[in-house]
Amino acid sequence: MYFYAVIELAIIGTGKVARALLHGLRHSGQVRVVQVVGRDPVALSTVKEEVPVALPEAIIASADMYLIAVSDDVIPSVSEWVKSPDKLVVHTSGAVPIDALAARHRKGVCYPLQSFSEGRNPDLREVPFFLEAEHKRDLPLLHALANSLSDTVQELDSATRQHLHLAAVFANNFTNHLYTLSYELMRKSGLSPGLLRPLIHETAQKIGEMDPFDAQTGPARRGDKGSMEQHLRLLEKESFKTIYSLLSNSILETYGKKL
């Protein structure tokens, strides 16, 4: 016979990250979500899982952990909702340092490295989670939470997490913007932008098998000056020309090509 500790968790927030984490914990035997807290009654009413919801005033006092999944800029003020001192309060942001949480709490971070969108439920077990605790004694609880969600969990301090988040801006925000620019170029030429999808998917899938450094192709990789000049002539908008030149030059430099 043995005793199995169940972590009672309050989730603060009703946005995309909060919903994804709630969804990821729905079958967990280790973590029980005892409350979802938010200030918007309409948003609370649309929480799909069967779990008690509450406005900030009615926040539960007895949870083992409070997980804050809200916009970066309101993390400090939202962490004040937990009135009792010495509670384990954890935020989920890549960019915000651990000490942004209210001073009276035992502070922690549980950052999932993923881009969450309405209506999509990426497999959390494949999403890397990064943990930080103000007090070492809180790490086991953070690990138990993260392991309930994911197969890839590691500890990371606030400074390194900010570098990780910055790398993610390049890998996610900026690549997605390049998709947007390529879609605009397609539409301008009367082509369906969806035709690019297999290419975009394959480009991303490929790095599962090879380093992107080795997967690079294209005129700049070959140092093909003629093609690059022709592309610049085809581009109408000045902003597109600037981005084309800058990224081509960056590729040329990366592979030690001189024009």
What dihedral do alpha carbons 217, 221, 225, 229 form, nearest 10°? 60
Of residues 46 and 216, the one with the C-beta less far from a second copy: 216
Nearest CA-CA partner of 58 in 98, 101, 12: 12
The CA-to-CA distance between both ends of the chain, in Å, stands at 73
Binding footprint of a second copy, residue count (CB under 8 A)? 86
**By the rule CB under 8 A, 171 interacts with a second copy:** yes
**By the rule CB under 8 A, 170 interacts with a second copy:** yes
**By the rule CB under 8 A, 6 interacts with a second copy:** no
Strands 106-112 and 128-133: antiparallel
**By the rule CB under 8 A, 205 interacts with a second copy:** yes
**By the rule CB under 8 A, 50 interacts with a second copy:** no
Please identify which residue in 195, 238, 256, 258 interacts with a second copy, judged by CB under 8 A.
195
Of residues 66 and 129, the one with the C-beta less far from a second copy: 129
Report in angstroms how near the CB of residue 87 gets to a second copy at its nearest.
27
User: How many other C-beta atoms lie within 10 A of the C-beta of residue 106?
Assistant: 18
Q: What span, in angstroms and rounded, lies between the C-alpha atoms of 36 and 29?
A: 18
Of residues 83 and 237, the one with the C-beta less far from a second copy: 237
**By the rule CB under 8 A, 215 interacts with a second copy:** yes
Q: What span, in angstroms and rounded, lies between the C-alpha atoms of 21 and 149?
A: 8
Q: What span, in angstroms and rounded, lies between the C-alpha atoms of 146 and 125?
A: 9
Site string for a second copy, 98-137 (x = CB under 8 A): ---------------xxx-x-xx-x---xxx---------
**By the rule CB under 8 A, 190 interacts with a second copy:** yes
Phi, psi values for residue 131, rounded to 5°: -115, 145
Which residues between 66 and 85 bind a second copy (CB under 8 A)? 72-73
Q: What span, in angstroms and rounded, lies between the C-alpha atoms of 257 and 224?
A: 10
**By the rule CB under 8 A, 216 interacts with a second copy:** yes
